[in-house]
Every structure is written in C-alpha cells, then in structure tokens.
Amino acid sequence: MLRIGSLAALTGVTSKTIRHYHRIGLLPEAQRMPNGYRSYGLTDAVRLLRIRRLARLGMSLDEVADALADDTGDDLRDILTELDAGLAADEARIRERRSAIATLLDSDGDLRVPAEVVSLAEPLAALFAGDEPGLDRELLTLELLGPVTGKPDLVADAYERLLEDPQISARLAELSRRFDALAESSENDPAVDALVADGAAIGGAVTALLPAELQESPGDPEAARLVLEAMTADLSPAQARCLTLLFAAWREQAS
C-alpha cells in the first residue's frame, strides 16, 4: 500500500493536489491505516493518472469527473469532440492574428495606424497642401470610419476614388479650408450656411463615386450619430453647427 507522498511521487502530482481531488470528489477517499494515514493502491494510482491525462488535454475538472463516471466512454468522446472544435477555432484565430502581425511587420510607416490609413496619408497630404488641420481631421476620420462601419477596405476605397477625381477632390479640399476658417467665427455666421449649401451641392457627385455597397447601405443611424458626436467634440461652435447641418443634408440626399 502507498502513502500519499509515495502516490504523489509515483504519479507526478503533489500531495496537495491529491487532497484537493479528494475534497471535490474527483478521487475517492483512501482507506485509512490503523495509524490514521491514508493508504492507496493500484486503482488509485491509475485513476490519478487518468485525471492527469485528461486534464492535460484541456478538460475542466468537472468534465474529467463526468468522463470518469461514464462506464461506456461516450461522454468522454462527446467532450473531446467539443474540445477539439474549440481548439480548431483557437488555431484559426491564432493564424489570423499572426497573419495580421506579419503584415504589420512587413509594412512601413507608423505601425499603430491601420495600413489603409497609412497608404492614403501621402495623397491626402498632397491634396491639402500643408493644411494641417484639414489633413489631420481627414486621417482621423478615416481611421475612425473603418472600424465603426466594419468595412475599412471599402472606406479606404471610397477615399481613393474621391482622390482620383481631380475636380471633386479639389472641391473637397477647398471646402475643408473654408471649414477651418470657421474656427474663429460665430455660430450664426452666414459663412456657415454658405458652406453647408456648397457642401450639400456636391453631395450627389461624392455619393456617385462611392463603392456600390456603401451607396446601398445607409449604415446604422446610431453609429452615425456617435461618429458625428465624436467629430464635433473638439470643434468650435460654428464648425460643429456646420458639420451637423452637412450630415443632415447628406442623410436626406441618401434617403
């Protein structure tokens, strides 16, 4: 007969682990010798090894208990099938994450910024020609819209199409410069309404250049509201009013 320390040494666990298994009912209580010490035999050692083997596969102790209580082994097969499916999903997620990391490591520029934003930084900088507020605003907006819409590639494609149209892109840059000029204006400055009217006037032309999927899907109204709230948070009152009115005009045109 084996004492608890000997059983622990034989099976590669600790005495504390064996006592824990006793407490939760995973390992039956051992017989007690006349001196009060626990006494273990072959059955105990094999059951403990089975517990270790199943736990190493990733099974919880509750699942191990269910598997060992089943005389046919069918429960264990079901548990392992489910466990294998979970591991396969984990592997797929790991491969996806490693692929994304590899793409980042192979790219140039600021790795904190999505690749589609980095790729558009240079053409946007050329368009805005040193207009830093406008450039920074567009890059931040681009970085926000990708995750919010769940379609970062389509959002980047939309920007690329707008940049490829010289008339539209020049008009948007000019509107951006006028928008920056509103920073020192009052909320009711006539320049606000003039800019809203001009921005709304090219809304249809801008929409026509967007990818079909973005044209057909108006998006989540609540997400659009939150985007507008984020974009206007740091603007002057005149700029915030201008952007709010522009968003409303564009939504009306899209409906």
pLDDT digits (tens, 9 = 90+) for 178-213: 999 999 999 999 999 999 999 999 988 888 888 877
Report if residue 65 sits inside a domain.
no
More confident: 74 or 151: 151
Rounded CA separation 12/88 (Å): 29
Range of the domain at 198: 115-254
The reply to whether 99 and 123 lie within a common domain is: no
Amino acid occupying residue 207: T
Banded pLDDT at 44 (limits 50, 70, 90):
very high
Residues 48 and 149 occupy one common structural domain? no
**Total domains present in the chain:** 3
Closest CA to 183 of 228, 136, 234: 234
pLDDT digit string, tens, across residues 132-166: 788 888 899 999 988 888 888 888 998 999 999 99
- The reply to whether 64 falls in a domain is no
Q: What is the DSSP letter of 29?
A: P
pLDDT at 217 over 70: no
